[in-house]
Structure 1
Amino acid sequence: MEAPDAASVFAALGQGSRLDLLRTLLEAGPAGLSAGTIGTALGIAPSTLSFHLRALEQVGLVRSTRQGRSLIYTAQIERLRHLIIFLSQDCCGGRPELCNDLVQAWPTSPPENGPMIPAYNVLFLCTRNSARSLLAEAILNKLGGERFHAYSAGSDPAPQPMPEVVEKLKNLGHDVSSIRSKSYREFQKPEAPRMDFVITLCDELQGQHCPDFGGHAITASWPLPGPGQFAPGSHERVLMLNELYASLFRRLGIFTSLNMDALDRMSLRHRLDHLSEAPLTVAKEH
């Protein structure tokens, strides 16, 4: 979600009856309510209720589906989750981990018996697959819920992940049970999942071009400095990992809020390239 989009959501909610309406639909859950039931519960005339429902539908907070002769309205929790992610992206001076509980407050998977949501496979590449790409994999798997399946790999993988990376992810509540350094060749095997997006996080993969994952995948490059330039356990390495986590959290929060169905390949590629321009303050070793 971007700033103009968030502003439109807040504008739609800037009215007492609409807030009450949305809270009523949230309480009803995935089953939703008919317009007549909502109007009776809130004491709103049909014409006024229709106006408010339309305003909330236009910004994606409410969806209507026809069941027989009635329209059933449901709150779109995923949309609210993207709003919370937008608000927490620059939490506490670029430390989104301090807003972690706020982001976790919203479910990341569709309700049971709800509509199926397409899932996208995303592969993050870096030379050693020991820090940047592992951070991105863990963050996207947490932010993306059921909509995104994240993976990572390297052209010359390290024997094991950087210990500080595993420790940081653990401390921030990420599942690290599957975190390991591995070769991108694992994802070129016939049985490997087909990638929808391949994003490189270093300037070059040891001087190579990005590996070929077929014409289906949309590729992008987000060059980020590596913490391996600093000594293990050093203050500079810790600072670098904090900055990398914050930067990736911001970028992937925006990435997960993109309306994939409404964008063509060129538009998606342009959005991904634009995200690569997000600044990162690099720690300097003295």
Structure 2
Amino acid sequence: MELNRAAHAFATLGHPGRLTVFRLLMRFAPKGVRPTEIAEALDLKQNTLSHHLADLTASGLVSVTRHGRSLYYAVDLDATEGLIGYLALDVGRGRPDLISPLFPEQKDPAMRDTDFDVLFICSGNSARSIFAEALLRDLGKGRFQAFSAGTRPGTELNPFALDVLRRNGHDVKGLRSKHISDFQKPDSIVMDFVFTVCDTAAAEECPPWPGQPITGHWGLPDPVKATGTDAEKALVFAQTYAALRRRIAAFVELPFESLSRLSLQARVDAIGADTEAKA
């Protein structure tokens, strides 16, 4: 990355408000986010957010696309990679004493092929993340240990979700609603993958996970918000289950033993993008 462009990008991120917006967009990457959703998640006024987004876009770190009447802002991953590379390799001269401590659990050139620990997060841990936990447990062929959690305390499993799981042959004994803090204790399992399966969970401010797990945002609409008759609500839950089943079925078939972290991250992103379009 050229010096002046890097200086512009660093100066842009030097403002706390712009850095906060950029950090939120990174949690959704590579997908874009509408300004109304950003403003709601960060409790920002629209005019303040507009200035931050304009500056981030001008720096080249963020791109904007239009879909219908909505604008979507997304991190430009190539520009961000260039900026991080400039800081690590040009400014830092690639010193191993600076770079190596950042990746103590890095698994390049290939991920191990057994015993992956995977956490699915949503807001309530009552439906979507519970679906994902049960699906990975049963489709994972013994290679995965699946967990789920919510960002809202005190929730309970949704009866429509439990009914969908039973009808699809999943054992629901042992499933329970859990808070994300249960997995953030000093002695907690170090996750290999962390997925958010709803937009509100991706917007939550969570500390970095130990071990640098591969992360993915596989957001789906909340079936708990479905309205209508019980039959109509049950249909929405079944559709949500089917969308997650497609994603997880594709995920468990990945050739983990031959993929680098970079390639695996790209596959995880692609699964969320491709199956969302079909959901």
Give the TM-score of the pair, scaled to structure 1. Answer: 0.54
Q: Give the stretch that moved more between structures: 159-168 or 272-281.
A: 272-281
Structure 2 counterpart of 1:270: 266
* Residue 254 (str. 1) matches residue 250 (str. 2): yes
Deviation at residue 213 of structure 1 after TM alignment: 1.5
* Residue 223 (str. 1) matches residue 219 (str. 2): yes
Higher RCO, 1 or 2 (CA under 8 Å, sep at least 6)? Answer: 2
Residues 117 and 275 of structure 1: CA distance in aligned 2, closer, same or farther (over 3 Å): closer
Q: Distance in 2 between matches of 1:228 and 1:211?
A: 27
Structure 2 counterpart of 1:279: 276
Structure 2 counterpart of 1:146: 142
Q: Which runs of 5+ in 2 are unaligned?
A: 1-111
Does the CA contact (< 8 Å) of 1:155 and 1:206 recur in 2? no
Over the matched positions of the two proteins, sequence identity in percent amounts to 40
Does the CA contact (< 8 Å) of 1:199 and 1:219 recur in 2? yes
Q: Distance in 1 between matches of 2:192 and 2:162?
A: 26
1:81-230 superposed matches below 5 A: 118-205=114-201, 207-230=203-226
Q: Distance in 2 between matches of 1:231 and 1:205?
A: 22
Bigger Rg over Cα: 1
Deviation at residue 205 of structure 1 after TM alignment: 2.2
Question: What is the aligned counterpart of 1:234 among 221, 227, 230?
Answer: 230
Q: Per-residue displacement from partner, 1:156-182 (whole Å, max 9, x unpaired)?
A: 045310011112112222121111111
Corresponding letter in the other structure for 1:279: E
Does the CA contact (< 8 Å) of 2:121 and 2:129 recur in 1? yes
Residues 192 and 232 of structure 1: CA distance in aligned 2, closer, same or farther (over 3 Å): farther
Does the CA contact (< 8 Å) of 2:125 and 2:155 recur in 1? no
Q: Per-residue displacement from partner, 1:195-248 (whole Å, max 9, x unpaired)?
A: 000000111228423443224211110110011212486333212111111111
Q: Per-residue displacement from partner, 1:241-274 (whole Å, max 9, x unpaired)?
A: 1111111111111110111111111111111111
Corresponding letter in the other structure for 1:154: G
Corresponding letter in the other structure for 1:122: V
Residues 233 and 132 of structure 1: CA distance in aligned 2, closer, same or farther (over 3 Å): farther
Computed over aligned residues only, the root mean square deviation of the Cα atoms, in angstroms, reads 2.2
Residues 270 and 132 of structure 1: CA distance in aligned 2, closer, same or farther (over 3 Å): same
Q: Distance in 1 between matches of 2:228 and 2:144?
A: 32
Q: Which runs of 5+ in 1 are unaligned?
A: 1-115
